[in-house]
Amino acid sequence: MAHAEATLPSMLKLLADPTRLRMLALLALEELSVGELSRALDMAQSRVSNHLRILREADLLRERHVGPSTHLRLATPGNGQAPLGRLWTALQPELDALPEHAADRARLDGLLAERRARDGDFFDRVAGEWDKIAGAFSTGRARLRAGVTLLPADTVVADLGCGTGYMAESLLGACSKLICVDRSEGMLEEATKRLAGRGPTEVEVRPGALDALPIEDGEVDGVVAGMVLHHLEEPFGAVHEMLRVLRPGGAAAVLELAPHKEAWMHRELGDRHLGLEPQDVLAAFRRAGFESIALESVDDRYQPPSASGDPVSLALYLVRGRKPRA
Q: Where residue 303 sits, what CATH number does that domain have? A: 3.40.50.150
- On whether the CB atoms of residues 260 and 173 are closer than 8 A, the answer is no
**Any domain includes 110:** no
| pLDDT score of 154 more than 70 | yes
Mind listing the pLDDT tens digit for each residue in 71-88? 888 886 545 556 777 777
83 and 225 both lie in a single domain: no
Mind listing the pLDDT tens digit for each residue in 98-150? 888 889 989 998 888 888 777 767 788 788 888 888 878 886 767 766 766 56
290 and 141 both lie in a single domain: yes
303 and 161 both lie in a single domain: yes
**Phi/psi of residue 152, each to 5°?**
-60, 165
| pLDDT score of 89 more than 80 | no
Which residues 6+ apart lie within 8 Å of 263 measured at CB? 66, 67, 274
**183/160 Cα distance (integer angstroms):** 10
Task: Give the domain range for residue 271.
Answer: 128-322
Pick from 134-138, 179-183, 254-258, 293-297: least confident: 134-138
**257/274 Cα distance (integer angstroms):** 8
pLDDT at residue 310, as a whole number: 86
158 and 92 both lie in a single domain: no
Count of structural domains within the chain: 2
**6/77 Cα distance (integer angstroms):** 12
**236/251 Cα distance (integer angstroms):** 17
List strands edge to edge, sheet with 291-302: 202-207, 177-182, 156-160, 220-226, 246-257, 314-322, 291-302
pLDDT at residue 197, as a whole number: 82
**Any domain includes 41:** yes
CATH number at residue 50: 1.10.10.10
15 and 149 both lie in a single domain: no
pLDDT at residue 1, as a whole number: 44
185 and 38 both lie in a single domain: no
Residue 212's region, left for phi above 0, alpha for psi from -120 to 50, else beta, is beta
pLDDT at residue 65, as a whole number: 84
pLDDT at residue 224, as a whole number: 96
Average pLDDT, whole number, for the chain?
Answer: 87
The pLDDT of 184-190, averaged and rounded, is: 95
